[in-house]
């Protein structure tokens, strides 16, 4: 089996570290946004009975910017960073030697071991199908992937629930 050249390996590792960092940041930011929404609701629920109108307005005005900043700025910025890094990875892969490209563009071959149970073949084909669907989605959405849309949806939904819960108290 061939190994990547050192410069290609170093660049590839750096770009994958950038991808890993951005994905971890997206999760972290989403988690903190959800904790903030819970804290805002807890503040509204702190007193006995329904909070006064002014308090509801202030808490709602706090929840709205959290959603806007998290979705509109932080998650979106990280998503564009991911898009740019993926583009750099693709450009880098095109400059690889044929041996390096064969390592990067790994295509699982057919199952050749006849002793493997049929379910193992099914699992392998299912993984292949999922990878193909992922490639299709990635090419059609380019800068926005399903993961990003779900994270934004979760934060927006949490903001709406928090807002409605404040006003239902």
Ordered by start, the domain boundaries in the chain are 6-168
Q: Mean pLDDT over residues 104-112, rounded?
A: 59
Query: Residue 27: its pLDDT value, please?
Result: 92
Q: Which two tokens stand for residue 98?
A: 């044929």
Query: Residue 112: its pLDDT value, please?
Result: 54
Share of the chain above pLDDT 70, in %: 73
Q: Tokens 């959800």 belong to which residue?
A: 34
Does the structure show a pLDDT above 70 at 120? no
Contact predicate 77/87, CB 8 Å? no
Does the structure show a pLDDT above 70 at 134? no
Nearest to 79 by CA among 139, 160, 13, 152: 152
Q: What is the dihedral of CA 36, 41, 43, 45, to 10 degrees?
A: -160
Query: Residue 138: its pLDDT value, please?
Result: 57
Three-state SS at 169: coil
Query: Residue 1: its pLDDT value, please?
Result: 46
Does the structure show a pLDDT above 70 at 89? yes
Chain segment 27-57, per-residue pLDDT in tens: 999 999 999 999 998 988 887 778 889 989 9
Nearest to 46 by CA among 59, 35, 57, 34: 59
Q: Give this prediction's pTM.
A: 0.69
Q: Percentage helix, strand, coil, to 5, in the chain?
A: 80, 0, 20
Query: Residue 159: its pLDDT value, please?
Result: 92
Three-state SS at 85: helix
Does the structure show a pLDDT above 60 at 20? yes
Query: Residue 8: its pLDDT value, please?
Result: 76
Contact predicate 149/142, CB 8 Å? no
Does the structure show a pLDDT above 70 at 16? yes
Mean per-residue pLDDT over the chain, rounded: 80
Contact predicate 48/11, CB 8 Å? no
Contact predicate 92/13, CB 8 Å? no
């Amino acid at each position: 089996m061939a190994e990547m050249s050192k410069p290609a390996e170093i660049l590839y590792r750096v770009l994958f570290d950038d991808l890993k960092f951005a994905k971890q940041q997206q999760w972290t930011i989403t988690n903190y946004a959800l904790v903030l929404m819970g804290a805002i609701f807890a503040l509204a629920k702190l007193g006995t009975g329904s909070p006064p109108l002014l308090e509801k307005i202030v808490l709602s005005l706090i929840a709205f910017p959290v959603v806007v900043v998290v979705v509109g700025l932080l998650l979106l910025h990280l998503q564009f960073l991911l898009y740019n890094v993926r583009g750099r990875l693709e450009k880098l892969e095109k400059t690889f030697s044929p041996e390096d490209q064969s390592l990067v563009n790994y295509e699982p071959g057919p199952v050749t071991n006849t002793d493997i149970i049929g379910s193992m073949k099914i699992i392998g084909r299912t993984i292949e199908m999922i990878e193909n669907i992922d490639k299709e989605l990635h090419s059609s959405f380019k800068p926005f992937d399903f993961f990003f849309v779900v994270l934004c949806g979760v934060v927006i939904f949490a903001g709406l629930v928090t807002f409605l819960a404040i006003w239902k108290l």
